[in-house]
Copies of this chain bind each other. A is one copy, B any other.
Amino acid sequence: MSDTNRSWILVQRPVGDDFDAALKFRELPMPEPGPDEILVRTLYLSLDPANRGWMAGPTYIPAVPLDGPMWGGIQGRVVRSNSPDFQQGDIVGGFGSWSDYCVLPASGANRIPDMGGLPLTTALSLFGGAGGTAYVGVLDVGQAKAGETFVVSGAAGSVGSLAGQIAKIQGCTVIGIAGSPEKCAWLTGELGFDHAIDYKHENVRKRLAELCPKGVDLYFENVGGAVGNAVIANLAQNGRVVLCGMVSQYNNSKPEAELDMLPVLLKAGTVKGFILLNHLDRLGEASMKLAGWLAEGKIKYHADIADGLENALTAFKSLFTSGASHRGKLMVRVDPAAN
């Protein structure tokens, strides 16, 4: 094992979409685990729009400190354990850093069990944050019911692609909004969405009015901005909006993400924000249900894997480039030997 550790360091808060200036790839000394900590070889790094918020300032968690390694969800293999709960070789998930190796508190690491024939990446792509967010958002927060019209934006993304499929299983008519004809074809083809709208080439507001003249009962919001307003303009009486993300707005110079609330007022609608951290007790059920649906062939997922820690920045930027070919769950394979 090397005595240095490559790491992406947050050297300044991001300004707009200038992540090149915010993050620098550096070589640091290998970290030492303290009492009740474990040293982990990073296998996969999860890349999510929420990373941007953590870089920018305090949210529901403190901001990533400047001149320290960037934070994020990781999967890794324990190489040294100062905790009775973990042994060398254990595969764990947790909140680590964008580094070859990182130290996790034992209390913040979760053992990832052997999933039979499923690759390790399934724990990021289907279970964990992506599937948990989709499950809780559609069923707990959104209360999706059979027969309802369900719309999801960012539909080809990690959460959106699962949210639409869960709503479909629930018996909803599902419409996905995504940024290219290829993504739309994937949604209605492989994933079984009823309709897909390509917001780069179609008028979302008019198209929705055609597809669902009675309005949108439940909108799973991942993007905000003009797409969000186009859906909200089509809200049904008592329609609900689940506010999961507003990725189109995250690189704005002003830290706001405005949406038109007039239809919400006039239609007596509800907008409900949620953060998965407040629903961690639901992850067990979510994983079991998702595993069952996977076994029955009712749900599909896609792992979008970039190779090499040095490519994390380039991959991360693709999350914010509308129309980029990225679909499904974006991650970086840090250890070339990871399955």
Contact = CB atoms under 8 A, between A and B. Distances in A.
A262 B229 CA distance: 14
Contacts of A270: 270-273
Oligomer copy total: 2
Contacts of A255: 262
Interface in A238-296: 243-246, 249, 255-262, 264-275, 278
A256 B262 contact: yes
Contacts of A265: 243-246, 257, 273-275
B275 A262 contact: no
Contacts of A244: 265
Contacts of A53: 266
A244 B258 CA distance: 18
Contact of A262 (B246, B262, B266, B278): B246
B268 A273 contact: yes
Interface residues of A, number: 31
Nearest to A265: B273
A271 B266 contact: no
B271 A261 contact: yes
A270 B240 CA distance: 10
Nearest to A233: B256
Contacts of A245: 265
Nearest to A141: B268
A229 to B, nearest CB: 7
A259 B259 CA distance: 6
Given A244-B265, A257-B265, 8 more contacts: A243-B261, A245-B265, A246-B262, A246-B265, A249-B262, A255-B262, A259-B261, A270-B272
Interface of A: 53, 59-60, 224, 229, 243-246, 249, 255-262, 264-275, 278
24 contacts: A59-B266, A60-B267, A224-B261, A243-B261, A243-B264, A246-B262, A246-B265, A256-B260, A257-B261, A257-B262, A257-B265, A258-B259, A259-B259, A259-B261, A261-B271, A261-B273, A264-B273, A266-B275, A268-B272, A268-B274, A268-B278, A270-B272, A270-B273, A271-B271
